[in-house]
Amino acid sequence: MKILVALGLLVLVSCSGRSEMVGRYEAISSRGEETVRVVMTLAADGTGKWLVATEETVFSWSVEGDHLRIYTRLGGVVEGRVQGTTVHLDVPGWGVLEFRR
């Protein structure tokens, strides 16, 4: 019985952190002379979308404390830090992007 209670509490804690992160975030990146807007959407079911111009990428995500993890379909993991309504992600090939809700 104690195990069921512990598992239930774990689910509640992880869901509450996730629900706080759900939403649409935007970042602006300078790539050479070009400025690119990146839109990241985090859904309540743990899926997300990354949109750059007309290219869309689907991923899954999790949050633990102030750490956000993006899991790509190819097996990569992009880690970030949450500070209020801002997410800092260190994206390979892009550097650190600052996403604001």
- Identify the H or E element spanning 15: helix 2-21
Which of these, 29, 96, 22, lies nearest to 61 by C-alpha position?
22
> Does the pLDDT value for residue 2 go beyond 50?
no
pLDDT at 25: 97
CA-based R_g, the chain, Å: 15
- Place 5 in a pLDDT band, splitting at 50, 70 and 90: very low
Write down all domains in the chain, each with its CATH number in brackets.
2-100 (2.40.128.300)
List, for residues 46-96, the tens digit of each pLDDT value. Answer: 999 999 988 999 999 999 999 999 999 999 999 999 999 999 999 888 889
> Does the pLDDT value for residue 6 go beyond 80?
no
Three-class SS state of 16 = helix
Is residue 37 within 8 Å of residue 22, measured between CB atoms?
Answer: no
> Does the pLDDT value for residue 1 go beyond 50?
no
List, for residues 13-47, the tens digit of each pLDDT value. Answer: 344 467 889 999 999 988 778 889 999 999 999 99
